[in-house]
Amino acid sequence: MEHVVVIGAGQAGFSLSAKLRTEGFAGRITLIGDEPEPPYQRPPLSKKYLLGEMEKERLYFRPPSFYREQGIDLRLGAPVTSVDRSARTVSLGEETISWDTLAICTGAEPVRVPAEQGGGLGGVYAIRKLADIDACGDEFAAGRRLVVIGGGYVGLEAAAVARSKGLEVVLLQRSERILRRVASAETAAHIHALHDSRGVDIRVNAPIARLTGTGRVDGVALADGTHVPADFVIAGIGANCVPHLAVEAGLSVAGGILVDAFGRSSDPAIWAAGDCAEFAFRGAPTLLESVQNAVDQAETVARNIMGAGLAYEPAPWFWSDQFDLSLQIAGLSRGHDRVVRRPGAREGSCSHWYYKGATLLACDAMNDPRAYMTAKRLLEAGRSPAPELVADPAVELKSLLR
């Protein structure tokens, strides 16, 4: 029987393994994870789990019995140390496992503050895995001082949780605004104002020089000489999507593992899906770090392993919860040349619609689920209403779908 080995027991690895079974794959499946926990949801980590509103067991996709019943050999706490493409084996320390087809779904690793800049001090955390949250959870006590480095979604969500728990929070962003890589200036300004109103001290144009302290962090020294005191630090400064296993195995990589439209790497026996897979979308190399992509791409790869020959055509969507803000994003705004603002029905709600010429690319909806769902349906249908209609609150959203 054919043996499919999946490296990475996150959202993509789980989805790929489960889809193989539901599609009727009768061969062996081995799912290998480097964490001791069974596959679990990651988005709640920096939200409900960190707030203490979700128990660990609720994070798990399925109970351990699921993997036994589905004939999926789940290996946990087992980092893969090497991939041998010629022998078609992976090594887990001293154990070697043979494969006929290999899928790499290792996700992304957080970029950490370098040791020479104080990244090795106690009290410095990244937020990516369950163990990261468990390690820093006790730090979130009212009155303590948190410094967040990085104004992306992870950093902003951590800042929101900390303020909700009564901590003093300073967020440092090295460039001129938060969310610079992933959102328009308009959306960033809306979220910045929200954090401002809740007492988060966001400082832009504030690159760090180093973390300070002896043994344990006691603050952050900025490049301009300013010192920001801290009881602990969370670094949300980006992610690395290139697994060292792929590099060492000689696969083609750039920002991630390069795959074709079907999810196949430069080695036809090796596939990739999820955060670590880079593919062409709208004519440009693309990494989609989202739950939607991890699930949809992994399930497409599973079907293609079985010979379906389906090109992956994503319909991206994302979300972020901060304080009482629900940000829902449909589409991908990359390459836009115009942003149209539409007021929402509720006070403080609105949406930003991204256009390139006359073509709708994406929509950021802030506490405006109707705008999000309308934009999502329009994008899926390949339709672009005139920007003037979108901007006019007198025009009903549902009329844009006609």
Domain ranges of the chain: 3-108+241-305, 111-237, 324-401
Q: What is the pLDDT of residue 334?
A: 93
The CATH number of the structural domain formed by 324-401 is: 3.30.390.30
Q: What is the pLDDT of residue 86?
A: 97
Q: From the first residue on, what is the mean pLDDT of each consecutive set of 10 residues in the chain (402 residues)?
A: 95 98 97 97 91 94 97 97 97 95 96 96 95 95 98 95 97 96 93 98 98 98 98 95 96 98 98 98 94 97 98 95 96 95 94 98 97 97 97 96 90
**CA distances to 40, 46, 205, 210, 321 from 199, in Å:** 32, 19, 19, 25, 17
Q: What is the pLDDT of residue 240?
A: 95
Task: Count how many residues are written for the chain.
Answer: 402
pLDDT, one tens digit per residue, over 138-192 is 999 999 999 999 999 999 999 999 999 999 999 999 999 999 988 999 999 999 9
Fold matches, 3-108+241-305 and 324-401: no
Calpha distance 342→353 (Å, rounded): 8
111-237 homologous superfamily: FAD/NAD(P)-binding domain (3.50.50.60)
**To which H or E segment does residue 360 belong?**
strand 359-366
Q: What is the pLDDT of residue 237?
A: 93
Q: What is the pLDDT of residue 268?
A: 97
Pick the CATH number of 3-108+241-305 from 1.10.357.10, 3.30.1280.10, 3.40.190.10, 3.50.50.60: 3.50.50.60
Q: What is the pLDDT of residue 181?
A: 87
Calpha distance 252→260 (Å, rounded): 11
Calpha distance 259→334 (Å, rounded): 20
Positive or negative torsion for Cα 160, 14, 35, 250: negative
